[in-house]
């Protein structure tokens, strides 16, 4: 038999023990194991190794469950404390968008009027209009990013020893 068939059988043996196999692959493997004593031996060794691993108890540290519950409660409390701030940010953001849409025609006319009075090129006052709407959003994004950078991340919180 070719090395490719043995390699495929090895992969299927491992995958069968972990994920299970679809019908066609399971049939191919069963046929191959009937014909190939080396792969049959590998399948038996794999079964024996998995069986011995399942027989060994894994001791958990004392108090692990209590510490885990404590940390989960702390994290839930932390998220609840932050929730009103986030809700306020979303409310303000929504109001800002609503007012921005409602006042856009007036702001456009104001920029156009100032542009005509000052003799500024059309591109300049159009750019000013765009920045009028863009700069507050950029400032808000910067504030949110600085807030996130100022507090420890998820992985730092999870790695703390208690």
| Residue 152 in tokens | 């420890």
0.75 surpassed by pTM:
no
- How far is residue 145's CA from residue 10's CA, in Å, rounded to a whole number? 49
Please give the span between the terminal C-alpha atoms of the chain, in angstroms, as a whole number.
57
Instruction: State percent of the chain over pLDDT 70.
Output: 88
| Residue 81 in tokens | 């404390």
- How far is residue 15's CA from residue 10's CA, in Å, rounded to a whole number? 9
**At 157, is the pLDDT very low, low, confident or very high (cuts 50, 70, 90)?**
very low
pLDDT at 154 > cutoff 60: no
Name the domain boundary from 38, 55, 72.
Answer: 55
pLDDT at 38 > cutoff 80: yes
41 lies in the same domain as 81: no
Instruction: Work out how many domains the chain is built from and give that number.
Output: 2
- How far is residue 46's CA from residue 121's CA, in Å, rounded to a whole number? 78
Domain that holds residue 134: 64-159
93 lies in the same domain as 112: yes
Give residue-wise pLDDT tens across range 115-153.
889 998 988 888 888 888 788 778 877 877 887 776 655
């Amino acid at each position: 038999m070719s090395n490719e068939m043995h390699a495929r059988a090895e992969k299927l043996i491992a995958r069968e023990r972990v994920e299970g196999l679809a019908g066609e692959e399971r049939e191919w493997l069963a046929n191959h194991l009937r014909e190939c004593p080396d792969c049959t031996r590998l399948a038996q060794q794999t079964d024996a190794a998995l069986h011995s691993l399942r027989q060994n108890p894994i001791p958990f540290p004392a108090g692990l469950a209590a510490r885990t519950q404590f940390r989960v409660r702390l994290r839930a409390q932390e998220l609840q404390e932050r929730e009103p701030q986030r809700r306020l940010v979303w409310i303000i953001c929504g109001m800002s968008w609503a007012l921005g849409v409602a006042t856009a025609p007036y702001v456009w006319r104001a920029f156009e009027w100032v542009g005509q009075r000052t003799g500024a090129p059309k591109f300049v006052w159009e750019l000013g209009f765009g920045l009028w709407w863009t700069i507050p959003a950029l400032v808000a994004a910067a504030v949110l990013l600085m807030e996130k950078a100022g507090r420890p991340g998820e992985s730092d919180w999870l790695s703390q020893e208690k």
